[in-house]
Amino acid sequence: MAAILETRALAAFYGSTQVLHQVDLAVEAGGITALLGANGAGKTTLLRALTAMVAVRGAIRFDGREIAGLATEDLVRLGIAHVPDGRGTFVHLTVEENLRLGAYTRSAKAEVAKDFERVFGYFPRLRERRRQQAGTLSGGEQQMLAIARALMLRPRLLLLDEPSFGLAPLVVKDIFRILRAINRDEQVSLLVVEQNANLALDLADQAYLMETGEVVMSGPADRIRGDESVRRAYLGY
């Protein structure tokens, strides 16, 4: 399969501190790629580097086009949606306004109206809470809202930063089931950052393992799962 996103020797910086080193990563078109690693390994930074939220050096190709150097706002217009860590909810706006903002870059009103129905199909709870202030939603509902907001863009690539963070196991199960459905039904490629390696390897077909700002292992999810050292360090059995 061809890669929809590819980085070559990607480095990222916070001020003068380099936090990513020589990252080569490929996200297959139509696939689900997991990005694993402990706290502080650089997973979130890598996602931020992909959407120009931190200073980067190196090459990033999206759909065959060099995109390093483009602004966040322009990457969005290419169809890259980023569900950031902490969910990025507009807490003082209503659920509906949050979703409308997700479709901010799209002009076809009729299609956007259809997409409201589409995302409410995935997340019926959001339809009930439509007029409610987003800040009053539970953590799980806010995560659903964040994913729904990203879907309103009709993205081709969806970057998810720890969608399971702080949520009850049942809610997480639900969200991951929906993510799989989204990947299947919408032909959206996913890049999922997760600390919960078990969960991520179940969902993904490809996986990368990061340590201290570098990719230390990559390959099909099954093979990563079978690796002795991964099993001991990240899967806990």
Partner 1 sequence: MTALLHQIFSGLATGGIYASVALALVMIYQATHLVNFAQGEMAMFSTYIAWWLIGLGTPYWIAFLLTLAISFLGGVAIERIVIRPMEKAPVLASVSVFIGLLAIFNSVAGFIFDYQIKPFPSPFPSDAWYGSAFMSPHEVGEVMVTLVVLLLVYGFFRFTPLGLAMRASAQNPVSSRLVGIRVGWMLALGWGLAAATGAVAGMMAAPVVYLEPNMMSSILLYGFAGALLGGIDNPWGAVLGGFMVGVLENLAGAYVVGADLKLTVALVIIVGVLVISPAGLFGRPVVTRV
**Pick from 37, 102, 163, 213: which binds partner 1 (CB under 8 A)?**
102
Q: What DSSP assignment string belongs to 22-63?
A: EEEEEEETT-EEEEEE-TTSSHHHHHHHHTTSSEEEEEEEET
- Tell me if 213 contacts partner 1 by CB under 8 A: no
Return the bridge partners of 33, or none. Answer: 191, 206
Is 64 within 8 Å of 14 (Cβ atoms)? no
Is 144 within 8 Å of 102 (Cβ atoms)? no
The span of 8-16, 94-102, 174-182, 212-220 binding partner 1 (CB under 8 A) equals 94-102
The span of 67-75, 172-180, 211-219, 227-235 binding partner 1 (CB under 8 A) equals 67-75
What is the C-alpha to C-alpha distance for residues 125 and 77, in angstroms, rounded to an integer? 28
- Residue list 35-54, contact with partner 1 (CB under 8 A): 51, 53
Judge residue 105's burial from the number of C-beta atoms within 10 Å of its C-beta, 0-12 exposed, 13-18 middle, 19 or more buried: middle
Q: Which is nearer to partner 1, 150 or 199 (CB)?
A: 150
- Tell me if 142 contacts partner 1 by CB under 8 A: no
**Pick from 22, 104, 169, 222: which binds partner 1 (CB under 8 A)?**
104
- Tell me if 163 contacts partner 1 by CB under 8 A: no
Q: How are beta strands 214-220 and 206-211 bridged, if at all?
A: antiparallel
- Residue list 143-162, contact with partner 1 (CB under 8 A): 149, 153
Q: Under the rule (CB under 8 A), what is the footprint of partner 1?
A: 51, 53, 71-73, 76-77, 81-82, 84, 88-93, 97, 100-102, 104-105, 149, 153
